[in-house]
Amino acid sequence: GAVVSQHPSRVICKSGTSVKIECRSLDFQATTMFWYRQFPKQSLMLMATSNEGSKATYEQGVEKDKFLINHASLTLSTLTVTSAHPEDSSFYICSARIRQGNTEAFFGQGTRLTVV
């Protein structure tokens, strides 16, 4: 299957700093990537849809100025958590679908962010 690589897998940062998470599609081009967040024992919640060459579409309740998304190429999308706070500690996962329609989503390995 297609491969989506996410980096870093784990990060600990101080409150107030920013953290960048990268998501790469290794063997296919992804015009659209998705960013999810998962708190312990909760479901994956879609944060935003990242579109190559255009602005991301954010879900209701997700602050676009806090979670900056850049999708500068067909194989790379980045999520930057700005001015991180302890409540931002979570498991962030990206995914991509090879094409629109009824196809499975491939997920990155996830990034466990801990803000201290």
Residues that bind another protein (CB under 8 A): 1, 6, 32, 34, 36, 42-46, 49, 91, 93, 97, 100-105, 107-110, 112
The DSSP-derived string for 30-70 is -SEEEEEEE-TTS--EEEEEEETTS--EEPTT--TTTEEEE
Nearer to another protein, 6 or 78 (CB): 6
Min separation Cβ 75 and another protein, Å: 17
Which of 101, 86, 111, 88 is closest to 24 using CA atoms? Answer: 111
Q: Rounded distance, CA 21 to CA 30, Å?
A: 17
Min separation Cβ 8 and another protein, Å: 14
Min separation Cβ 21 and another protein, Å: 13
Min separation Cβ 74 and another protein, Å: 15
Q: Rounded distance, CA 60 to CA 8, Å?
A: 26
Nearer to another protein, 24 or 110 (CB): 110
Nearer to another protein, 74 or 82 (CB): 74
What is the pairing mode between strands 106-107 and 90-96? Answer: antiparallel
Nearer to another protein, 13 or 105 (CB): 105
